[in-house]
């Protein structure tokens, strides 16, 4: 038994491709990913600046730059017209665009994490039931505090947050105490979605027309009621989440691509990483939709688009996915403000209108790649 039998494909394999050139290529293989991320960041900046200029009281690029300069230097413009345009830009347009950018990024990152952790490309940030829970919380707040969005905005945010956190806490405690596998987690999510969906339907069934309209309007998802505090909260959250996700990218790769058993054998504390990462993804989702209402599709589609461009490695995928999510929402919001101007179509509607064909295209081309 001294001779080593090798299969036909193995013969002649050793020694091939040796040399420093080959090795160096491995090391530079992420140049494309880094370039894509840099290019994407520039694209977000450019679309954001264009997006700020869109609106009923038109603003030029000069106005936008002047506003930022004025905010940096603390200067207050002398004439009323300039002051007015700068106020519109700083108090309405910038937070709106920023909320679209950060919200899109947060949902896309959450979608990427959920898809990887549950090893399922059909999963979205809403799979574990966060969206219906938030919708129920918001509906309850609308019933209790009235339908006027402006004055009740904070109660709406709290209502949505409270119930999405309750939902997440329930899912996570079930996951940790019962040691649930990805499929069971998805089923628990479906059950909770149905439960909160039914509860919201109850409220809608008994609500007056005005209340009903407010509830429906909330579920469409928009950045119309953006405020600076929302921008800052999301910014801080993403600032905390990103370093952690980057630190865990190796573990995420192992769980997503090798499976639980193999990931454990690769030295990953699978249960702990899954719980921590789900908690982060759920928090990003909950806070975002508490501010915007339910914006569909971006969390499902952005990770897929990103995967097609930079590949599946989470070290780059989460970042690029965030960029795609931001772009998708900023562009959708701009489109929503342009098509029936001065009317505004909520970003949640436009984003699904844009997202659905892209998703269809992906499904069809992917099938071709498999054949």
Partner 1 sequence: MTLRIDSLVVGYGKREVVKGATLQVRKGELVGLLGSNGSGKSTLIKTIAGINRHTRGSITWNGGTDLAALPRRELAKIVAYVPQSIGLSFALDIKEAVLLGRTPYFGTRPRDDDWDHVEAAMRLLGLDELGDRAVTELSGGQGQRVLIARALAQDPEILLLDEPTSALDIRYQWQTLSVARAVTRKNNVAGVIAIHDLNQAARFTDRVVFLHDGEVIADGPPADVYSPELIKRVYGVDVELSAYKGFVQVHPLSEHAEHHHRPAPFAPAFTPRPAEGRLELQA
* Interface contacts to partner 1, rule CB under 8 A: 1, 4-10, 13-18, 22-23, 26-27, 29, 116, 119-121, 246-247, 249-251, 253-254, 256-259, 261-269, 307, 311-313, 315, 369-370
- Tell me whether residue 5 or residue 79 sits nearer to partner 1 (CB atom): 5
Q: Are 297 and 351 in contact (CB under 8 A)?
A: yes
DSSP, res 5 = P
Residue among 340 and 370 whose Cβ is closer to partner 1: 370
Dihedral (CA of 308, 96, 154, 137) sign = negative
Does residue 31 have a cis peptide bond before it, meaning omega lies within 30 degrees of 0? Answer: no
Do you find a cis peptide bond into 99, omega within 30 degrees of 0? Answer: no
Alpha helices in the chain (DSSP H): 20-27, 31-53, 61-73, 80-87, 94-117, 130-145, 149-177, 182-206, 209-220, 228-247, 249-265, 270-292, 298-310, 314-338, 347-370
Quick one: 62 or 243, whose CB is closer to partner 1?
243
Taking the least distance from each CB to partner 1, the nearer of 217 and 246 is 246
- Shortest Cβ 60–partner 1 spacing (Å): 43
How far apart are CB 366 and partner 1 at their closest, in Å? 8
Q: Which of 329, 345, 349, 326 is nearest to 337 (CA)?
A: 345
- Please give the Cα distance from 48 to 140 (Å, whole number): 34
CB nearer to partner 1: pick between 217 and 315? 315
- Measured in whole angstroms, the distance separating CA 81 from the mean position of its chain's CA atoms is 37
Q: What are phi and psi of 7, to 5 degrees?
A: -70, 165
For residue 4, give the DSSP letter.
P
The CA distance from 350 to 137, in Å, is 24
Residue 18 CB, nearest distance to partner 1 (Å)?
7
Residue whose CB is less far from partner 1, 166 or 266 = 266
Whose Cβ is closer to partner 1: residue 77's or residue 121's? Answer: 121
Nearer to partner 1, 10 or 360 (CB): 10
- C-alpha distances out from residue 20 to 24, 31, 70, 76, Å: 6, 18, 54, 61
DSSP designation for 222: -
| CA–CA dist 43, 56 (Å, integer) | 24
């Amino acid at each position: 038994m001294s001779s080593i039998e090798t299969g036909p494909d193995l013969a002649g394999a050793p020694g091939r491709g040796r040399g420093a050139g080959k090795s160096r290529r491995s090391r530079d293989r992420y140049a494309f990913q880094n370039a894509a991320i840099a290019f994407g960041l520039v694209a977000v900046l450019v679309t954001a600046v264009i997006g700020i200029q869109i609106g009923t009281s038109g603003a030029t690029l000069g106005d936008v730059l002047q506003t930022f300069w004025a905010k940096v230097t603390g200067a207050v413009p002398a004439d009323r017209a300039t002051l007015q345009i700068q106020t519109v830009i700083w108090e309405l347009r910038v937070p709106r665009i920023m909320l679209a950018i950060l919200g899109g990024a947060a949902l896309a990152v959450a979608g990427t994490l959920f898809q990887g952790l549950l090893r399922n490309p059909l999963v979205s940030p809403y799979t574990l039931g966060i969206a219906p829970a938030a919708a129920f919380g918001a509906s309850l707040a609308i019933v209790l505090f009235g339908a006027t969005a402006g004055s009740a905005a904070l109660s709406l945010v709290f209502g949505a947050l409270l119930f999405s956190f309750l939902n997440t806490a329930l899912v996570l405690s079930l996951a940790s105490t019962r040691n649930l596998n990805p499929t069971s987690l998805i089923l628990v999510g479906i059950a909770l979605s149905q439960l909160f969906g039914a509860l919201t339907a109850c409220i809608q069934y008994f609500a007056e027309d005005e209340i009903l309209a407010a509830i429906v309007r909330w579920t469409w998802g928009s950045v119309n009621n953006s405020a600076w505090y929302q921008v800052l909260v999301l910014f801080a959250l993403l600032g905390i989440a990103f370093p952690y996700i980057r630190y865990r990218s190796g573990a995420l790769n192992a769980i997503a691509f090798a499976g639980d058993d193999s990931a454990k054998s690769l030295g990953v504390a699978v249960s702990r990483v899954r719980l921590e990462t789900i908690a982060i993804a759920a928090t990003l989702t909950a806070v975002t939709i508490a501010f915007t209402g339910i914006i569909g599709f971006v969390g499902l589609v952005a990770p897929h688009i990103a995967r097609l461009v930079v590949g599946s490695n989470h070290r780059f995928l989460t970042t690029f996915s965030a960029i795609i999510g931001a772009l998708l929402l900023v562009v959708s919001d701009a489109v929503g403000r342009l098509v029936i101007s001065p009317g505004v179509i909520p970003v949640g509607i436009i984003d699904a209108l844009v997202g659905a064909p892209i998703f269809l295209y992906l499904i069809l081309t992917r099938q071709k790649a498999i054949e």
